[in-house]
Amino acid sequence: MLIVPPIKSQGIKTKLVEWINVNTQRIEYDRWVEPFMGTGVVAFNIKPKKALLCDNNPHLINFYKAIQRKEITSGIVKHFLTEEGQKLLDTNGDHYYIVRDRFNEKGNPLDFLFLSRSCFNGMMRFNKKGGFNVPFCRKPNRFAQALITKISNQVKMISQIIELGDYEFKEQDFKQTLSELKSSDFVYADPPYIGRHVDYFDSWSEEEEKFLHKGLVGSGSKFILSTWLSNKYRTNDYVFSVWKDCYVATKEHFYYVGAKESNRNAVYEAILSNIELKDSITNFEMKSRINNDISQLTTKRRIHIVPKQMALKLEEKTVVNNLHGL
């Protein structure tokens, strides 16, 4: 059963969880480390005995720390969302902005959860001053009983996982996390894509990508990193420059069928590693596949057919990503 965290984010790797699990199951390590934990979906599904989970976004870390300290429980969440959800309904949605202002002033983790579950498209975005700035999803009845139950069950599940393991959550820059690595650690790194998000907690440069590579290799720990390999428009050249000493495994993140044959698009997600994985090939072999126009896919093809409207939306998104350097 897939564990779904209560916090939403556009960078969430729910779709990669099973793949990462299959590829890391047989690897031995003392501690699972994530320098970019985000929502934590990967760690919470892998359920390592011991983990160091870090992010530079204090709100994510505070949220999970509050669960760990039992300041946030499923009961507290249920009560909170019922009350705040009623205010949202009574004010025809205006209460969202009251909570957003309150959160930007005080940073309460329950307010963070409220915003994450009632903002537009479950996005997580912060302005230049670090303020949450995603607008309301425009559904005043957002916190219907069924959703509140779902979220409080998600909180319950996560608190059980945290309680069973020896987990440490830290708000810190990835450079600090790299400096704390031991060779017996296993690292799952999921950095932002270069140039893609320019957000207070989520921007990323070539220099940082190189620093990350050097730090991971230098730590002597085994690691995997998730990134993208290619789409219809571009190939991620960093895979073959910065990460050229790594094995590569790929998966089709989306393969959707639009209205026309020409709308068929594949986006290849990649995991890079300093160890050979179940699905991986060498970097050199991947490069030669690309040069010789041979399939870049190292796993079984899975076709997701989506309705025309959604296919067009995805097409649009790919074009935008392309413009932003993805």
Ligand X SMILES: C[S@@+](CC[C@H](N)C(=O)[O-])C[C@H]1O[C@@H](n2cnc3c(N)ncnc32)[C@H](O)[C@@H]1O
Residues at the site binding ligand X, with contacts judged by CB under 6 A? 9, 11-13, 35-36, 38-39, 41-42, 55-57, 173-174, 190, 192, 201-202
Q: What is the DSSP letter of 81?
A: H
What would you report as the CA-atom Rg of the chain, rounded to the nearest whole angstrom? 20
Query: Which of 19/36 has CB closer to ligand X?
Result: 36
Closest approach of ligand X to the CB of residue 250, in Å: 18
Rank residues 217 and 257 by Cβ distance to ligand X and give the closer one. Answer: 217
DSSP one-letter code for 244: T
Least distance to ligand X, CB of residue 263, Å:
27
* Residue with smaller CB distance to ligand X, 23 or 88: 23
Which is nearer to ligand X, 11 or 130 (by Cβ)?
11
Distance CA 264, CA 282 (A): 28
Nearest to ligand X of 108, 172 (CB atom): 172
Residue appearing with tokens 């959703």: 147
Closer residue to ligand X in complex, CB, 212/311: 212
Contacts of 265 (CB under 8 A, 6+ apart): 231, 232, 254, 255, 256, 258, 314, 315, 318
Residues 6+ apart with CB under 8 A from 47: 161, 164, 165
Region class of 93: left (phi > 0), else alpha (psi between -120 and 50), else beta? left
Report d(CA 164, CA 110) in Å as an integer.
23
Task: Tell the smallest beta-carbon distance from residue 232 to ligand X (Å).
Answer: 22
Q: Which residue number is nearest to ligand X in terms of Cβ? A: 38
Contact 30, 185 (CB under 8 A): yes
Shortest distance (Å) from residue 41 CB to ligand X? 4
Q: How far is the CB of 134 from ligand X (least distance, A)?
A: 14
- Quote the least distance from Cβ 244 to ligand X, whole Å: 22
Distance in angstroms (rounded) separating the CA atoms of residues 37 and 42: 8
CB of 11 to ligand X, least distance (A): 3
Indicate the residue among 38 and 140 with the shorter CB distance to ligand X. Answer: 38
Strand pairing category for 222-230 and 185-189: parallel
Name which of 84 and 111 has its Cβ closer to ligand X: 111
**Shortest Å, Cβ 166 to ligand X:** 20
How near is the Cβ of 44 to ligand X at its closest, in Å?
A: 10
Q: Please check whether residue 298 is in contact with residue 250, taking contact to mean a CB–CB distance below 8 angstroms.
A: yes
Give 35 or 258: the residue with its C-beta nearer to ligand X: 35
Residues linked to residue 170 through DSSP beta bridges, in sequence order: 54
Backbone angles phi and psi of 31, in degrees to 5: -145, 140
Q: Which long-range contacts (CB under 8 A, 24 or more apart) does 309-317 make?
A: 310/256, 311/256, 311/257, 311/258, 311/259, 311/263, 312/258, 312/259, 312/263, 314/254, 314/256, 314/265, 315/258, 315/263, 315/265
